[in-house]
């Protein structure tokens, strides 16, 4: 594939590692990282970085034309917890940002647009266990409302204007490079830092709150596999994907196998209610059928790899 890809939200939790992986595959010059801030060194290293605010339509169009972009991966988004603190910001960033990107794809005739959705697109009336791909979606967070909108608008652009829109409903993503930015599943990343540094963690979710999760290598694989999937095979445009489901207690027990003195306590806050409105586990058979999705990491494999990587990066033995 010799396409030119532009990634928004490139210094976010997923963007940081996705840009690196895309550059390894498609060549540094072909993958343009963008964001509103000054880029971290890792993003400037192997390819271009441009300042971009997706709410600025003329700046967005100018960059897409000047850089001859074929595919946009629009990752810039306000996540669930920050979105409940500031719903107006989440609305503007997520809804207007996605609209601007889809409009740009229509007007400039881009080859493809990938915009993430989330397990947050489901709500309390959705079946909680093995949630199917096509099911009732009535989320109760602003973040979830914006994600349902993005899926529907993207699918509308596909059938109405022939824009090749694709979306993954990411579960909680666990990663060792960049921290997540204000979501409800962030505890599953924080717990590793605290386990290594302080041997204790205070979790903001209750111990039996199961949520669908995925380790970053699988997140990158899912994203790239869907981008590369043959459009003729896709009956859907928005896909459930998952790799594992666990509770805070289960991940803590897995960490204790390596750090026996690790202690966890539970002090659920406002994020508990958000978590309880989401599925506990996900059925991703549609993604498996239509584009061959298959995860590699389960809970034990993810925990071992996270501890290895983080202990190396932080210089803390365990």
Return the closest-CA partner of residue 119 out of 204, 207, 185.
185
99 catalytic? Reply is no
Please report, as residue ranges, which positions from 101 to 120 form the binding site for ligand SER (by CB under 6 A): 118-120
Marked catalytic residue, from 143, 187, 201, 297? 143
16 in contact with ligand SER (CB under 6 A)? no
Closest to ligand SER by CB, 71 vs 81, is: 81
**Minimum CB distance to ligand SER, residue 109 (Å):** 30
Q: Which of residues 61-90 bind ligand SER (CB under 6 A)?
A: 79-80
Nearer to ligand SER by Cβ, of 54 and 120: the residue is 120
Residues 173 and 290: beta-carbon distance below 8 Å = no
Angle, to 10 degrees, between the axis of helix 248-256 and the axis of helix 187-197?
A: 30
The whole-angstrom separation of Cα 18 and Cα 216 is 9
- What is the C-alpha to C-alpha distance for residues 238 and 168, in angstroms, rounded to an integer? 6
Residue 183 near ligand SER by CB under 6 A = yes
What is the footprint of ligand SER within residues 150-179 (CB under 6 A)? 170, 172
Q: What are phi and psi for residue 7, nearest 5 degrees?
A: -115, 125
Please list, in sequence order, all residues whose beta carbon lies within 8 angstroms of the beta carbon of residue 156, skipping any fewer than 6 positions away: none
Residue 79 CB, shortest distance to ligand SER, in Å, is 4
Residue nearest to ligand SER (CB): 183
Q: Of all helices (H) and strands (E), which one includes residue 177?
A: none
Q: Among all residues, which ones are annotated catalytic?
A: 143
Residues forming the site for ligand SER (CB under 6 A): 79-80, 118-120, 143, 170, 172, 183-185
């Amino acid at each position: 594939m010799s396409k030119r890809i532009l990634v928004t939200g490139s210094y976010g939790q997923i963007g940081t590692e996705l840009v690196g992986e895309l550059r390894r595959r498609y060549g540094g010059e072909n993958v343009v990282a963008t964001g509103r801030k000054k880029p971290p060194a890792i993003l400037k290293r192997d390819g271009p970085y441009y300042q971009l605010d997706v709410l600025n339509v003329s700046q967005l169009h100018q960059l897409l034309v000047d850089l001859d972009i074929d595919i946009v991966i629009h990752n810039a988004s306000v996540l669930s917890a920050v979105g409940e603190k500031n719903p107006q910001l989440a609305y503007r960033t997520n809804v207007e940002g996605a609209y601007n990107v889809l409009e740009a794809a229509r007007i400039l005739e881009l080859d493809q647009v990938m915009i993430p959705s989330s397990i947050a697109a489901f709500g309390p009336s959705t079946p909680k266990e093995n949630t199917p791909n096509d099911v009732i979606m009535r989320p109760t967070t602003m973040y979830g409302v914006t994600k349902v909108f993005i899926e529907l608008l993207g699918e509308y652009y596909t059938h109405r204007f022939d824009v090749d829109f694709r979306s993954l409903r990411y579960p909680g993503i666990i990663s060792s490079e960049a921290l997540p930015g204000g979501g409800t599943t962030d505890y599953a990343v924080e717990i590793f830092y605290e386990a290594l540094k302080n041997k204790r963690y205070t979790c903001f979710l209750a111990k039996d709150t199961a949520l669908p999760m995925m380790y970053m290598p699988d997140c990158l694989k899912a994203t790239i596999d869907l981008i590369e999937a043959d459009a003729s095979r896709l009956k859907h445009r928005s896909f459930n994907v998952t790799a594992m489901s666990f509770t805070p207690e289960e991940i803590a027990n897995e960490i204790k196998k390596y750090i026996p003195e690790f202690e966890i306590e539970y002090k659920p806050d406002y994020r508990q209610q958000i978590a309880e409105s989401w599925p506990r586990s996900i059925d991703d058979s549609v993604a498996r059928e239509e584009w061959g999705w298959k995860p590699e990491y389960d809970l034990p494999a993810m925990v071992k790899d996270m501890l290895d990587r983080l202990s190396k990066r932080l210089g803390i033995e365990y």
